[in-house]
Amino acid sequence: MTRPNILIFFTDDQRFDTISALGSEVHTPNIDRLVARGATFTHAHIPCGTDGAICMPSRAMLHTGRTLFHLRDGGTSIPREHTMLGETLRDAGYRTWGAGKWHNGREAFNRSFDDGDEIMFGGMADHWNVPVYHYDPTGRYDSRLPQIVHARETNEVLWREADHVHAGRHSSELLCDTAIDFLGRQDGETPFFCYVSLLAPHDPRSMPERFRTMYAPEDVELPPNYLGGHPFDNGGLKIRDEVLADFPRTPEEIRRHIAEYRAMITHLDHEFGRVLDALDENGLAENTLIVFAGDNGLAVGQHGLMGKQNCYEHSVRVPLVFAGPGIPQGVRSEAFVYLLDVFPTLCELIDAPAPPTVEGQSLVAAIRDPEAAVRETLYFAYVSSQRAVKNRTHKLIEYAVRNRTRQTQLFDLANDPWETDNLAAQPGHEDVIADLRAKLLRFRETWEDGTPDRGQTFWERYDTPAEASANA
């Protein structure tokens, strides 16, 4: 019997709470279609990241199934000894094809994919002038000419290496068009792995006008954890994401950012719907496993932050939906999972062995039984300044920043999901803090977070006696 096809639709900076079917105000009728016919993990996470560009380690974890501190150079490249998802699927008889953003080295792309198109190497670009490559079987991806890319939102001229630029075509439309073309060329006999990696809803947030006008900033309600600025130095206040809005953050500016963020997601949802329709039109839908996920979350004004360089829920939780043959419909699981679990899950679903380098856990049992547990606790780390651990009721975040002053936050997630009330300095929580700190130190050992090239600076600061304080 032919193994099922696999489509991974991966978005950039889409937070977990941005799907209408799961209670969001964002209009997402096509993602809702997938939620209705599949299994949704409402508590999917990333472990944050060892680089300010959180999406780089996040994508490396997705494609290798490895934990955060077992990547090379934060995911800048993927060594040959780390078997990739595309390699595993190709060995199982799949044609592997990729398009869109790739943040983990050119050699790794060609190891994973036999073919592809409209490939963008690196971080981000203007959505209307995306510097991309056609697939190069040699893996060199030499630029024919340096391209000048004009970011029309910022009036900034950026130099990018590229094979070509589609001036005036939005990135979401460009990538979905090329995916639809690929799907139209399938024969239904050779199984395929189609990886579509969007640039949206990452800034600069621009979209066709009809989607922008769906959300009026004055109608946006600010989240309960909105702040004009973060209450203390978390080690990431000057990174690129944080200068997207002035200090202090004003309600008017944050409402505008939220409105544009929602419009970007509704636009990408529309494009995703065209890909779903193409599966139907080409007779591929019944035998295609679909994974919809995002690489990380985003603050957009929550806790006085704009980016994802933190361990709060808005930044470490992501959407994750599975649908297709063998997946029960309308299932919602609250199991604690990571994106690095996608790799072994797909292996089990297609009855192919996961390579020994994979460290994630298969989610098939939780897909079939939404009450099944996967993990009891989760670990998070942001570069050399933040470490966190959470269980079903509480989250502990520890900060050890440049001046060696320690900061501690404790949140009762069961009663304070917006993480607004720091309990660390309040009496009566000493046992909870002690328990979570013990778990934090166990994760330090099991995840090998502390060797000289893997976060030693944080633990040196953490272990050094210093003035400790708790902040809201």
Are residues 363 and 438 both part of a single domain? no
Are residues 326 and 399 both part of a single domain? no
Are residues 272 and 408 both part of a single domain? no
Global pTM reads 0.94
Are residues 72 and 169 both part of a single domain? yes
Note whether residue 373 is domain-resident. no
Q: How confident is the model at residue 122 (pLDDT cuts 50, 70, 90)?
A: confident
pLDDT at 322 over 60: yes
Which SS3 state, helix, strand or coil, does residue 287 take? helix
237-285 tens-digit pLDDT: 989 899 999 999 999 999 999 999 999 999 999 999 999 999 999 999 9
Cα(120)–Cα(164) distance, rounded to whole angstroms?
Answer: 10
Note whether residue 407 is domain-resident. yes
Higher pLDDT: 471 or 122? It is: 122
Residue after which a domain boundary falls, among 336, 368, 400: 368
Are residues 322 and 393 both part of a single domain? no
Residue after which a domain boundary falls, among 331, 347, 368: 368
Note whether residue 416 is domain-resident. yes
Are residues 362 and 409 both part of a single domain? no
Q: What is the mean pLDDT of residues 181-209?
A: 96
103-116 tens-digit pLDDT: 999 999 999 999 99
Question: Structural domain of residue 413, as residue ranges?
Answer: 378-470
Note whether residue 299 is domain-resident. yes
Are residues 397 and 455 both part of a single domain? yes
Are residues 174 and 69 both part of a single domain? yes
Cα(355)–Cα(358) distance, rounded to whole angstroms?
Answer: 6
Are residues 363 and 393 both part of a single domain? no
Note whether residue 107 is domain-resident. yes
Specify the CATH number for the domain of residue 414. 3.30.1120.10
Are residues 278 and 192 both part of a single domain? yes
Are residues 430 and 297 both part of a single domain? no
CB 327, CB 39: distance < 8 Å: yes
Q: What is the mean pLDDT of residues 306-328?
A: 97
Strands 95-102 and 386-390: unpaired
Q: What's at 134, amino acid-wise?
A: H
Cα(302)–Cα(313) distance, rounded to whole angstroms?
Answer: 10
Note whether residue 283 is domain-resident. yes
Residue after which a domain boundary falls, among 344, 368, 392: 368
Are residues 390 and 359 both part of a single domain? no
Cα(355)–Cα(404) distance, rounded to whole angstroms?
Answer: 41
356-392 tens-digit pLDDT: 999 999 999 999 999 999 999 999 999 999 999 999 9
Q: How many residues does this entry show for the chain?
A: 472
How many independent structural domains does the chain possess? 2
Q: Is the dihedral of CA 136, 137, 142, 145 positive or negative?
A: negative
Structure tokens at 235: 């080690």
Specify the CATH number for the domain of residue 148. 3.40.720.10
